[in-house]
Structure 1
Amino acid sequence: MEIDSPLPGTEPPRDCSRCPRLVALRQECQAEHPDWWNAPVPAFGDPDAWLALAGLAPGKHGANRTGRPFTGDYAGDLLFRALAAFGLSRGDYDARIDDGLTLDGAIIVNSVKCLPPQNKPAPAEIANCRPFFERQLAALPKVRVIVALGRIAHVAVLRATGARLAAHPFAHGAVHALPDGRHLVDSYHCSRYNTNTGRLTPEMFADVFRTALALHEEGV
């Protein structure tokens, strides 16, 4: 299976060896599920996007299985439903990489490209993947707003854009002006845990997109 990236030249190789722990997990998954993607997951969406969604990392039964960010797990159900509601997607999401879904004005770029154990990448693994993340943000000159899905993605965006971490604390719904002229909007991650516990409701998530759209319409 081959998947074309909307940002060619920015992705890690399929056999990326920067993180030994992630490589070991990848090899376990390849042996257990040889028909899965089981490789660094490329970006997905519109290369001319104004909105970038910064995710954490592939989920085992989601992106690591299908090869497309947030595709095939609960977080994707909520995310793609929100993208459709705000006119940022075309077609119907059916949790399959061949469902025909496309994004319009939005793109998803994960701060970590490979599946981490327990969905928790180590600090060194985040740092190892930062060059790819930075390269992808740099390849998106039309992006004016970035939504960080969770604290790890928030920090990754700040580091990638040269912003001071202490000056930009993570808080759901917070808006941060970045040194490169873009704006960062924070959101709790759209994980099943966060929604099941009530930490993130669909309305709270929708508010994040309303904020992003307002920034876009204001041309800030």
Structure 2
Amino acid sequence: MTEPTTIAELDRQVAGCRACPRLVAWREEVAVVKRAAFRDETYWGRAVPGFGPADARLLVVGLAPAAHGANRTGRMFTGDRSGDVLYAALHRAGLASQPTATRIDDGLTLAGVRITAPVHCAPPANKPTPEEIRTCAAYLRRELELLAPTLRVAITLGAIGWSALLAVLATDGWIVPRPRPAFGHGRELVLSHPDGRALTLLGCYHVSQQNTFTGRLTPAMLDEVLARAVALGRAT
């Protein structure tokens, strides 16, 4: 397969991916069975590409599309409660044109930030396998390469995103400490590349219902991480 030379080409390639049989079977089964509340909707049922401009200074790295969220709507963090929390915070930070994300044609746009994931298909029980993460890593690597001229900060939502991003950066020549630093909410890690580039990683608890409903992640905590990311992006 030809390596994409633009973010738009990458997004099209991701959307057509069928590399992981377990994930393909699950996402397509969900698109047929559906959730009762969405029974009259046509599900996307494919791999979900990243969302946001090709000149983003900030990258938000989640985990994977939700079965009845992005797997239904075709856009990252769109149509589920995790997305409700994330986009409301992005709007407060001045990075999203509106605080809600309900469907792919709802008019939402992002400025200065792009959202992606280490796995682009909805996994059963929200748990991709290590092999599936490794298979999808080529897309994240290429996305980082295409964003390189402008990218300065990456926020990882949860430990899996943190680990997956560090693994990809290490294979792409970034100087990653060993042992690799553990994930933590509010954790800040500055990495350098032999070509002179620098990238700051910020850890943030995932915007999952489990975290937001229990108060492990509050709107104020998320706002604080985003404010730090915006400040770092402007300073570099």
Q: Same fold (TM over 0.5)?
A: yes
Partner residue of 1:7? 7
Deviates more, 1:162-171 or 1:123-132: 162-171
Identical-pair percentage: 43
Is contact 2:90–2:96 with CA below 8 Å preserved after alignment?
Answer: yes
Deviates more, 1:204-213 or 1:57-66: 204-213
Partners of 2:206 and 2:178 lie apart in 1 by 19
The structure-2 alpha-carbon separation of the partners of 1:13 and 1:54, relative to structure 1 and needing over 3 Å to count, comes to closer
User: Which runs of structure 2 are paired with 1:1-220 in the superposition (5 Å)?
Assistant: 7-11=7-11, 12-33=13-34, 35-91=42-98, 93-141=100-148, 142-162=150-170, 163-164=176-177, 166-180=179-193, 181-219=198-236
Partners of 2:9 and 2:17 lie apart in 1 by 14
1:103-127 residue CA offsets vs partner (Å, 9 max, x unmatched):
0000011110000001111111100
1:119-138 residue CA offsets vs partner (Å, 9 max, x unmatched):
11111110010001111111
Q: Secondary structure at the match of 1:37?
A: coil
**TM-score, scaled to structure 2:** 0.85
1:204 counterpart letter in structure 2: M
**Residue ranges of structure 1 left out of the alignment (5+ in a row):** 1-5
Moved beyond 3 Å, runs of 4+:
11-15
Structure with greater proportional helix content:
2
**TM-score, scaled to structure 1:** 0.91
Q: Following TM superposition, by how much is the alpha carbon of 1:55 offset from its aligned partner in structure 2, in angstroms?
A: 1.1
Cα RMSD after superposing both structures: 1.7
Partners of 2:160 and 2:180 lie apart in 1 by 16
Is contact 1:58–1:114 with CA below 8 Å preserved after alignment?
Answer: yes
Q: How many residues align?
A: 214
The structure-2 alpha-carbon separation of the partners of 1:192 and 1:60, relative to structure 1 and needing over 3 Å to count, comes to same
2:92 counterpart letter in structure 1: A
Partners of 1:189 and 1:89 lie apart in 2 by 19
Is contact 2:87–2:101 with CA below 8 Å preserved after alignment?
Answer: no
**Residue ranges of structure 2 left out of the alignment (5+ in a row):** 1-5, 35-40, 171-175
Is contact 1:155–1:165 with CA below 8 Å preserved after alignment?
Answer: no
2:45 counterpart letter in structure 1: N
Is contact 2:157–2:205 with CA below 8 Å preserved after alignment?
Answer: yes
The structure-2 alpha-carbon separation of the partners of 1:214 and 1:28, relative to structure 1 and needing over 3 Å to count, comes to same
Q: Following TM superposition, by how much is the alpha carbon of 1:91 offset from its aligned partner in structure 2, in angstroms?
A: 3.9
